[in-house]
Structure 1
Amino acid sequence: MSLDIVFVTETFPPEVNGVAMTVGRLVDGMRQRGHRVSVIRPRQGAADTGSEFEQPVSGLPLPGYPGLRFGLPAGRMLARQWRLRRPDLVHVVTEGPLGWSAVSTARRLGIPVTSGFHTNFDRYSVHYGVGWLRPAVAAYLRTLHRRTQATMVPTEALAADLAGEGLSGVRVVGRGVDTQLFDPTRRSALLRQAWGVPEGGLACLYVGRMAAEKNLALVEKSFAAIQSVRPDARLIWVGDGPAAAALRLRHDDHCFAGVRLGESLATHYASADFFLFPSLSETYGNVVAEAMASGLPVLAYRSAAAAELIRDGLNGRLVSPGDETQYLESALDLARAGPLLLSELAAAARLSIMPRNWASVVERFESVAREAMGSSGAGLICPA
């Protein structure tokens, strides 16, 4: 039986971030499986009028992130629409005011509602000078998810953390990666030359949002250490964000490629030699899987996707969360590694990621959605 599902999200393609990409994959995948899927999201610009299955609503700019917006509460509009056409399920992707109003409205109308836990917003507060707000933000997030039938998460570790905090209904859905797009065969000697990497030189890569919560200072320190033993090394930054301008001012010898999408992004991954990713704020980290699929050894903390995907010394390098000294030592180990060892790590990274595909993730999402519908008490009016 096909389902009528409404996704409520603060971010959606063509916006460029891990949550938008993941939601886009889920929406497309569910449509391919024959379901009717509509999306409610903040308006992405003055000319954004939406489409038959995408409805833009009012929003405000997200502080510190030009181009991203959070949605304003829309309970009355949602109630009016859902009374006229009642969906089988509402899935709330993000926990902003729009998401909260969607949860409240769905509960009031007795519509099954699920949520996704994609971002550790409580951890972000520390990086923006409002760490004192972290307990309140964490409490808000947990309260929202407790009001849904199921909270979908990407990893077993996150599921265990949330369950330990008293959240019931946590379900692991996982994340996929496009192994046809992200492929080592896209490696480009011409691109490496454009980066200024000499023959036999070392190309170190960072891909992602350039923001305080990504621990970019450790990328800078790691590359400085790498250059001390490999003067032929070059650091390539792919992405944009509030920290980008300051990074460019500090490092005119680095290569800043800006935001890259599709085949261009895949070529940038495949043309590097290893990937530096020291973030400790991730719930998953899609870039880790994309880098591994592209045949890159990844150096990361044992957290989120890295803890699940990387086997230290076999297909990448893992260090204890927060141990900066160990991270720098591991960066030097990779810099000193010969071409044979790097190629062995690269091949193992690619091989280990091959079984992870979006089709199985979408199938799991559908299974959890149906489970939530069955456990919701169809027809009951839930307290708001």
Structure 2
Amino acid sequence: MPLFFRTVASLREIEPRMKAVVVGDGPERRALQDAHPDVVFAGMQKGEALGRHYASADVFLFPSTTETFGNVVTEALASGLVIVAFDYAAPRQYIRSDINGFLAPMRDEDCFVAKARLAVAISRYPTMKLAARETAMKISWDVVMDRFEQDLMEVLEHGPKEI
């Protein structure tokens, strides 16, 4: 979460009225709320309520370095959001940097912040948002399972890749 809050602070330099919303819950929530009163903590959301949060956003920051599949990536794409994420796992699989979102090299926090600033400032939002939706429309369980099978075969043949 530190990178998320650092990114939000940087984005507010170029868009002071920006509203940051955190959806989800966890043991750190109360402390984070106290430390960041300028951020809305919506708690756990499901179904239509979750959909409303996605629909109200323009950019989706995903600074995780531990999430593997990340349903939130496909949900954000389906909502037409410009995603900023690290180049690994689900983001690497679905985001085409500068086309339907932005990818930063793994653990390069300065690049992540820079990509987020670009995501907020760019004028090609409609094109990126449409590309995000089109990407999501191509994702099905058959596609996911085929990709998973390909990844397993690659590991069996060549061993695991380094992240």
Indicate the TM-score class for this superposition, using the shorter chain for normalisation: 0.7 to 0.9
- Displacement of 1:361: 6.1
CA distance in 2 between counterparts of 1:361 and 1:330 reads 28
In structure 1, the residue matched to 2:77 is: 292
CA distance in 2, matches of 1:343, 1:249: 35
Residue deviations 1:151-187 (CA, integer Å, cap 9, x gap) = xxxxxxxxxxxxxxxxxxxxxxxxxxxxxxxxxxxxx
2:87 is equivalent to residue 302 of structure 1: yes
Find 1:239's aligned residue among 12, 24, 29: 24
Alignment partners' CA distance in 2, 1:335 and 1:345: 12
Over the residues paired in the alignment, what is the CA RMSD in angstroms? Answer: 1.6
Which deviations, in whole Å up to 9, do the C-alpha atoms of 1:234-272 show, x marking residues without a partner?
A: 101101001211110011121111111011111111210
Letter in 2 for 1:222: T
Matched, 1:349 2:132: yes
Deviation of 1:342 after TM superposition, in Å, equals 1.5
How many pairs align? 147
Confirm or deny that 1:334 pairs with 2:109.
no
Question: Is contact 2:59-2:120 (8 Å) kept?
Answer: no
The one-letter code matched in structure 2 to 1:352 is T
Q: Residues of 2 paired with 1:302 and 1:353: CA distance? A: 18
SS at match of 1:318: strand
Larger relative contact order (C-alpha < 8 A, sep ≥ 6)?
A: 2
Corresponding residue for residue 105 of structure 2? 320
> Counterpart of 2:33?
248
Considering only CA atoms, is the larger Rg found in Structure 1 or Structure 2? 1
% same residue: 40
Structure 1 or 2: more helix by fraction: 2
Cα distance in structure 2, aligned partners of 1:361 and 1:266: 23
Report the 3-state secondary structure (helix = DSSP H, G, I; strand = E; otherwise coil) of the residue aligned with 2:69. coil
Instruction: Return the structure number with greater strand share.
Output: 1
SS of 2:61's equivalent in the other structure is: strand
What is the TM-score normalised by the length of structure 2?
0.85
Matches within 5 A, 1:41-60: none
2:62 to 270, 277, 289: 277
Q: Name the SS of the counterpart of 1:237 in structure 2.
A: strand
Question: Deviation per CA, 1:263-311, whole angstroms, max 9, x where unpaired?
Answer: 1111111210010001111221110110001110100000100001000
Q: Which residue of 2 aligns with 1:99?
A: none
**Aligned partner letter, 1:350:** R
Match for 2:134: what amino acid? Answer: L
Letter matched to residue 243 of structure 1: E
For residue 319 of structure 1, report the CA deviation from its aligned partner: 0.8
TM-score computed with the length of structure 1 as normaliser = 0.37
Give the match's secondary structure for 2:19. Answer: strand
Match of 2:152 in 1: none
Structure 1 segments (4+ residues) deviating >6 Å: none
User: Secondary structure at 1:233's aligned position in 2?
Assistant: coil
SS in 1 for 2:138: coil
Deviations along 1:13-50, one digit per CA (max 9) or x if unpaired, are xxxxxxxxxxxxxxxxxxxxxxxxxxxxxxxxxxxxxx
Distance 2:61 2:109 in 1: 13
Map Cα deviations across residues 196-231 of structure 1 (whole Å, 9 max, x no partner): xxxxxxxxxxxxxxxxxxxx1100000000001110
